[in-house]
Amino acid sequence: MTTMALGKAINAGLRCAMESDPKVVLMGEDIGKLGGVFRVTEGLQQEFGEQRVIDTPLAESGIIGTAVGMAMRGYRPVCEIQFDGFAYPAFDQIVSQVAKLHNRTKGDVKMPMTIRIPYGGGIGAVEHHSESPEAYFAHTAGLRVVTCSNAADGHLMIRQAIASEDPVIFFEPKRRYWEKGEVDEQASLESAPLHRARVVVAGTDVTIATYGPLVSTALAAASVAAEEGISLEVIDLRTLSPIDFDSLEASVGRTGRLVVAHEASVFLGVGAEIAARISERCFFRLEAPVLRIGGFSVPYPPAKLEDAFLPDADRILDAVDRSLAI
């Protein structure tokens, strides 16, 4: 076990993947000499050369579109979109090409591509640097969407995403890049399935389902609740397409109450799908309606307002209270 920050863990995971498969190439803006604006690719160009860690022109559609061609040639591209809000120029290539090519060609063409997107707020950034666009991608057939919340998962899940024969959108909670955790660098790809949620803290009263940046927030809420004698079960979803409803159902079967939390706007977000599915699966076991908390239906605000926009432990606890009051 090694202690490392999430960003460093992803970096180490990328290095592992590049060492074990010469077809893995990294593409993105500023990922080479600079090592990425968050330094997630730091040192990799020096180690693997400019052929495998490619600084691209500033064109997101171009990055993904050329990665499609590289994948068709047998490469395994790992593309970095520098910030969440810059994913949209690449949206057409991702949704119309990356997601569909395997199905379009009846499996003749495979798209083993990983698209890394640092996402979410909380870093006091300017506009377009704090968004949570995961629902757009999870809504698209043909893509897999995952997000890590801690260093161990960062290291394991990036390797699993790269090894996947399908395209994976890999969301990295940028405000947690510096949070440290224990990483087993020898963990095998089979040590935990990519598409399985994890119970981070077991509890009995209310299930909190969340992912990415809000897992830490939910854990903080669980500590506060525990002091008041309320037992929260915190589930890190880890995977947003597919969503591990079996794990959620099992948890809600125990607690009877579910609060879903994410930074993305609540309206038509991941929480909406979870609320619908869990209502179908657990109708007679639910003690209260599934509640959702998250971003408001407003554009991501300027930095001085982001604390009001982002769900914090208090908002999670408020939802817990409302759930328990029914």
Partner 1 sequence: MTTVMARPDVPANPVPTPGQVDAQGLTPDQDLVQLIGPDGRRTSGSPFAALVADIGPEELRSIYRDLVVVRRIDAEATALQRQGQLGLWAPLLGQEAAQVGSARALGADDFVFASYREHGVAYCRGVDPTMMMRFWRGSTQSGWNPYEFGMTTPAIVVGSQALHATGYAMGIQHDGASSAAVAYFGDGATSQGDLSEAFGFAATFLAPVVFFCQNNQWAISEPVHLQSHLAIAKRGEGFGIPSIRVDGNDVLAVCAVTRHALARAYSGQGPTLIEAVTFRMGPHTTSDDPSRYRAPAEEEEWKAKDPLARVRALLEAEGLIDAAYLEQVTTSADETARSLRSGCIGTVEPLPMSLFDQVYAEPHPLIEEERASYAAYLERLEDQSS
Active site residues: 129
CB 156 within 8 A of CB 187: yes
Nearest approach in angstroms of CB 57 to partner 1 is: 5
Q: What share of the chain is helix, strand, coil (3-state, %, to 5)?
A: 40, 20, 40
Measured CA to CA, the distance from residue 261 to residue 236 in angstroms comes to 10
Nearest approach in angstroms of CB 139 to partner 1 is: 12
Number of residues that bind partner 1 (CB under 8 A): 46
Segment (H or E) for 208: strand 206-210
CA 82 to chain centre: 15
Positions 223 through 262 that interact with partner 1 (CB under 8 A): 241-243
Sole window of 63-71, 148-156, 175-183, 249-257 interacting with partner 1 (rule: CB under 8 A): 63-71
Regarding 276 and contact with partner 1 (CB under 8 A), the answer is no
Regarding 96 and contact with partner 1 (CB under 8 A), the answer is yes
Regarding 72 and contact with partner 1 (CB under 8 A), the answer is yes
Regarding 76 and contact with partner 1 (CB under 8 A), the answer is no
Measured CA to CA, the distance from residue 239 to residue 261 in angstroms comes to 14
Choice between 62 and 301, CB closer to partner 1: 62
Nearest approach in angstroms of CB 246 to partner 1 is: 8
Nearest approach in angstroms of CB 311 to partner 1 is: 26
Alpha helices per DSSP H over the chain: 6-20, 44-48, 60-72, 91-92, 101-104, 134-138, 151-163, 214-227, 245-255, 270-281, 306-309, 313-324
Binding residue (CB under 8 A) for partner 1 from 2, 61, 231, 279: 61
Q: How many CB atoms lie within 10 A of CB 251?
A: 24
Choice between 67 and 286, CB closer to partner 1: 67
Binding residue (CB under 8 A) for partner 1 from 3, 46, 47, 69: 69
Regarding 166 and contact with partner 1 (CB under 8 A), the answer is yes
Q: How big is the chain by its Cα radius of gyration, in Å?
A: 19
Task: HSE, CB side, 13 Å, CA atoms: give it for residue 103.
Answer: 11
Q: How many CB atoms lie within 10 A of CB 239?
A: 23
Choice between 248 and 259, CB closer to partner 1: 248
CB 253 within 8 A of CB 271: no
Positions 107 through 136 that interact with partner 1 (CB under 8 A): 107-112
Binding residue (CB under 8 A) for partner 1 from 67, 87, 258, 278: 67
Binding residue (CB under 8 A) for partner 1 from 3, 46, 103, 223: 103
Query: Per-residue b/e over 146-173, b at no fewer than 16 CB within 10 Å?
Result: bbbbbbbbbbbbbbbbbbbebbbbbbbb
Binding residue (CB under 8 A) for partner 1 from 75, 86, 177, 300: 75
- The binding site for partner 1 (CB under 8 A) comprises 25, 51, 56-57, 59, 61-62, 64-75, 89, 92-93, 96-97, 100, 102-112, 141-142, 144, 164-166, 195, 241-243
